[in-house]
């Protein structure tokens, strides 16, 4: 299947600063893609290059078989929604949505019909006569979405569209955007720094850092099999535990010897074990096993359905803390309390190995 949007070796320089370094990516028709990464990683620059707002310094962008690398934004086939809504304050909601349609040459009646259709679709059928200032942030963002989609673009670009909204509205609008995207089958790219948002919404996530792509994959792949230490640290919560390889069978954490989690490790190597808090478990009846290490529970953070136990690894110098997520039922059964000395099991299956920095 050929890609709807092809990005080949895109570079973008701002003076001496390189914002994008040889970015290549294929996006298929109907996909929901999230560009995810910290501030300054290049995700918005890449979105703007796709939109033609920042022309790429080198490389090629092809949309639906057409080379768009150096085209002006108005010559490209996309709709865009910004974090700041960008609605015209002096126009009514209906006028805001109709503006692009009128520019396309649609008659007054045709434009009105399309506006009515989109107001219904975004759940604001009675708001056409209002001005943006009379709407809440979430409602304004829906209007911005309707305005972008009313032009029937081949590509929808979303630049942090939810970050200005409060948590409850954000979750609701997140679901609405996903519903609309699936219903319309429109190819969508969303920029976000919010990993929870990306994991919940995307078909595939593009994790970016310092102008390069660290990993591309489904939310499950990104979370369960991070390709680098950066991805492991940025997406979800991850414990990093220093270890050294002492033989083909054993690694050492502090003064504790454990079975080696991987056969390819070589004696003398220094490594970091990456472990999600939900993949570490307290042992039954506080029994030591071959794959357990001693810890002291320093404090317990209530998180609703589970408790996050902040634990200090024993016999480690320098001191090292790890987080262990314990379901409430298990916490009650094991009667875990702050100050307790316990053992935690490290499961080979869920251990990620990174070479020491």
Sorted by sequence, the CB contacts under 8 Å of residue 17 that are 6+ apart come out as none
Model pLDDT, residue 293: 93
The confidence score (pLDDT) of residue 315 equals: 85
Domain ranges of the chain: 5-234, 239-355
- Cβ count within 10 A of residue 72: 10
CATH topology (fold) of 5-234: Rossmann fold (3.40.50)
- Interval 207-265: pLDDT, tens: 999 999 999 999 999 999 999 999 999 999 999 999 999 998 899 998 899 998 887 88
| CATH label, 239-355, candidates 3.40.50.620, 2.40.50.100, 2.60.40.2140, 3.40.50.300 | 2.40.50.100
357 band by pLDDT with thresholds 50, 70 and 90: low
pTM: 0.91
For 166-185, b/e burial (b = at least 16 CB within 10 A) is: eeebbeebbebbeebbeeee
Where does the pLDDT of residue 273 fall: very low under 50, low under 70, confident under 90, or very high at 90 and above? very high
Side by side, the strands of the sheet bearing 292-302 are 280-282, 341-346, 292-302, 306-313, 321-327
The CA distance from 78 to 153, in Å, is 5
Q: Reply yes or no on whether the pLDDT at 204 is more than 80.
A: yes
What is the arithmetic mean of pLDDT over 265-281?
Answer: 92
Q: What is the mean pLDDT of residues 6-27?
A: 95
Q: Can you read off the two tokens belonging to residue 188? A: 């969508």
Residue 167, CA distances (Å) to 48, 123, 173 in order: 27, 19, 10
pLDDT at site 356: 73
CA distances for 172 relative to 101, 161, 176, 180, angstroms: 28, 13, 6, 13
Q: What is the pLDDT of residues 289-316, one digit of tens each?
A: 888 999 999 999 999 889 999 999 998 8
Q: How far is 27 from 33, CA to CA, in rounded Å?
A: 8
């Amino acid at each position: 299947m050929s890609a709807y949007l092809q990005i080949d070796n895109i570079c973008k320089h701002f003076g001496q600063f390189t914002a994008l370094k040889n970015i290549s990516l294929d996006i298929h028709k109907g996909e929901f893609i999230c560009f995810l990464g910290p501030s300054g990683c290049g995700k918005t620059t890449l979105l703007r290059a796709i939109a033609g707002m920042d022309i790429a310094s080198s490389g090629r962008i092809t949309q639906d078989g057409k080379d768009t690398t150096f085209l002006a934004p108005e010559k490209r086939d996309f709709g865009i929604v910004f974090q700041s809504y960008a609605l015209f304050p002096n126009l009514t909601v209906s006028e805001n949505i109709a503006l692009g349609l009128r520019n396309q040459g649609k008659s007054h009646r045709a434009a009105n019909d399309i506006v009515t259709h989109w107001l219904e679709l975004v759940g604001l059928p009675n708001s056409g006569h209002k001005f943006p200032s009379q709407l809440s942030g979430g409602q304004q963002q829906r209007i911005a979405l309707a305005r972008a989609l009313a032009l029937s673009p081949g590509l929808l670009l979303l630049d942090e569209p939810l970050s200005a909204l409060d948590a409850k509205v954000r979750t609701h609008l997140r679901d609405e955007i996903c519903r609309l995207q699936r219903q319309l089958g429109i190819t969508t790219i969303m920029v976000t720094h919010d990993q929870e948002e990306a994991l919940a919404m995307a078909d595939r996530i593009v994790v970016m850092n310092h102008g390069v792509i660290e990993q591309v994959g489904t939310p499950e792949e990104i979370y369960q099999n991070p390709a680098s230490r950066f991805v492991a640290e940025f997406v979800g919560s991850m414990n990093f535990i220093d270890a050294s390889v002492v033989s083909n069978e054993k690694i050492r954490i502090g003064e504790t010897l454990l079975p080696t989690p991987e056969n390819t490790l070589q004696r003398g190597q220094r490594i970091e074990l990456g472990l999600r808090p939900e993949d570490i478990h307290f042992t039954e009846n506080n029994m030591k096993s071959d794959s357990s290490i001693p810890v002291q529970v320093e404090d317990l953070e209530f998180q609703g359905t589970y408790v996050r136990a902040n634990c200090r690894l024993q016999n480690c110098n320098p001191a090292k803390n790890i987080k262990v997520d314990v379901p409430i039922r298990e916490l009650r059964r094991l009667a875990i309390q702050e100050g307790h000395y316990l053992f935690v099991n490290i499961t080979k299956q869920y251990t990620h190995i990174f070479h020491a920095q």
